[in-house]
Amino acid sequence: MRWPYAVVILVAACSQDADRLFSPSVLPGNGASAVMGSAAYQKRQGDVELIVKSNYTAIKADIRAGGGPVLTKAMDAAGIAASDRPARIIQLQSNIGLYQTTPGALVTALMVYGT
């Protein structure tokens, strides 16, 4: 019955993220902060999703134009730093094909770029 322990050790040894198995962040006392952080992230994601889906045509036009009020509002909600926005707009423009019919992809991109 020791083989499960051996499997865990071997998998951890092969993983580049082995420290996550025994990380202090997975201790029971950290659960409350993880839940609060998750709730804050979900609220922010909901705000971004509402902006994107409510103004989908306008936000795509803002991306093509290199900026605009709806894109700025979405970036504010996502927590994208003002100094990062020019580079992020270029990235959004280069991937505009992904966002033509999928607002969820745009929400995800904005959330990844945010803090």
Mean of all residue pLDDT scores within the chain: 83
Q: What is the pLDDT of residues 64-98, one digit of tens each?
A: 999 999 999 999 999 999 999 999 999 999 999 99
**Cα–Cα distance measured from residue 2 to residue 93, given in angstroms and rounded to the nearest whole number:** 54
Instruction: Give the chain's domain count.
Output: 1
pLDDT-based confidence at residue 39 (cuts at 50, 70, 90): confident
**Owning domain of residue 94:** 3-113
Task: Please tell me which of 28-32, 34-38, 54-58, 98-102 the model is most confident about, judged by mean pLDDT.
Answer: 54-58
The answer to whether residues 96 and 60 touch, using CB atoms and an 8 Å cutoff, is yes
In degrees, rounded to 5, the angle at the alpha carbon of residue 33 between the alpha carbons of residues 30 and 39 is 140
